[in-house]
């Protein structure tokens, strides 16, 4: 695996930091959006807006992080970027095609799981950064960095009152596996948390689709 990671942990932290600083203070606006999608996701009609916001996040991460930033140290990142753009477009198309669908409300456990995941996508990593005394500019939040965006997506899929498409989980889970393995190789323990949450949440979403909704 180390032959697939042609950079050091320090350099990765620096490019994440450079990326965050290049868009600051966009993170504040993005954080507000992340919290607002919690309310939007549960409302008829407005949940399309929530999904479109997430779709834009994926495309933005694909272009600005992967292709324009990460690709300067990892040749594979441009392909990650294409995958993220495809994911963003897929979410948007799925949102439009299923906009008239409505299913009974999910069980509370899944709703609270979705809310917890969305909050984590926005706030968990910066909190971990502060606890571990790492530079705050290394923090990853949804909409700006890939893994929290994947976490936000699964959180949204828990909340929207329509039957989630399992194929929308492929890229978030695949990316999280890669990100987790990279963090493991670079011995970045903090980098294991969010990918782990995404993978567990994806399994939870699959389980939620197998349990009948509340009556």
Partner 1 sequence: MKNHSRRTFIKLAAASSAFLATGTTNALSTPTLLRKPIPKSGEFIPAIGMGTWITFNVGDNISLRDERTEVLRTFFDLGGGMIDSSPMYGSAEDVMGYSLAKLSNTQGMFSATKVWTSSKDEGRTQIDDSFRLWGLKKFDLFQVHNLLNWEDHLATLRERRAAGHIRYIGITTSHGSRHPEMARIMETQDIDFVQFTYNVEDRGAEDRLLPLAADKGIAVIINRPFQRGALIDRLEGKPLPAWASEYGITSWAQYLLKFIVSHPAVTCAIPATSKVEHMKENMNVLQTRLPDIKDRGRMLDYVQSL
List of residues contacting partner 1 (CB under 8 A): 2-3, 6-8, 11, 14-15, 18, 69, 72-75
- At 182, which helix (H) or strand (E)? helix 170-185
Burial class (CB in 10 A: 0-12, 13-18, 19+), 55: buried
Q: How far is the CB of 7 from partner 1 (least distance, A)?
A: 5
Q: How far is the CB of 66 from partner 1 (least distance, A)?
A: 13
Q: How far is the CB of 84 from partner 1 (least distance, A)?
A: 19
Q: Which is nearer to partner 1, 4 or 203 (CB)?
A: 4
44 vs 55: CA distance, rounded Å: 18
Burial class (CB in 10 A: 0-12, 13-18, 19+), 159: buried
Q: Which is nearer to partner 1, 98 or 185 (CB)?
A: 185
Q: Which is nearer to partner 1, 72 or 101 (CB)?
A: 72
Q: Which is nearer to partner 1, 165 or 184 (CB)?
A: 184
DSSP per residue, 92-124:
HHHHHHTTT---PPPPHHHHHHHHHHHHHHHHH
Q: How far is the CB of 10 from partner 1 (least distance, A)?
A: 8
Q: How far is the CB of 67 from partner 1 (least distance, A)?
A: 13
Which position has the token pair 């990853």?
A: 140
109 vs 99: CA distance, rounded Å: 24
DSSP per residue, 30-76:
HHHHHHHHHHHHTSTTHHHHHHHHHHHHHHHIIIIIIITTGGGT-TT
Q: Which is nearer to partner 1, 128 or 179 (CB)?
A: 179
Q: Which is nearer to partner 1, 7 or 82 (CB)?
A: 7
Q: How far is the CB of 164 from partner 1 (least distance, A)?
A: 36
């Amino acid at each position: 695996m180390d032959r697939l990671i042609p950079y050091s942990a320090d350099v990765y932290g620096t490019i994440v930091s450079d990326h965050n600083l290049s868009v600051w203070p966009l993170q504040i606006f993005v954080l507000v959006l992340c919290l607002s999608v919690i309310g939007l996701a549960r409302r008829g009609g407005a949940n399309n807006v929530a999904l479109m916001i997430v779709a834009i996040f994926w495309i933005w991460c694909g272009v600005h992080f992967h292709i324009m930033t990460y690709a300067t140290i990892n040749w594979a990142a441009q392909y990650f970027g294409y995958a993220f753009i495809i994911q963003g477009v897929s979410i948007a198309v799925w949102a439009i095609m299923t906009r008239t669908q409505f299913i009974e409300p999910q069980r509370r456990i899944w709703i609270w799981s979705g809310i917890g995941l969305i909050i984590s996508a926005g706030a968990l990593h910066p909190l971990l950064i502060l606890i571990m005394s790492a530079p705050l500019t290394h923090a990853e939040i949804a909409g700006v960095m890939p893994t929290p965006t994947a976490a936000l997506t699964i959180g949204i899929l828990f909340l929207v009152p329509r039957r989630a498409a399992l194929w929308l989980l492929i890229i978030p889970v695949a990316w999280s596996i890669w990100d987790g393995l990279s963090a493991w190789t670079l011995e970045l323990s903090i980098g294991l948390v969010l990918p782990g949450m995404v993978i567990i949440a994806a399994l939870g979403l699959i389980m939620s689709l197998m349990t009948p909704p509340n009556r």
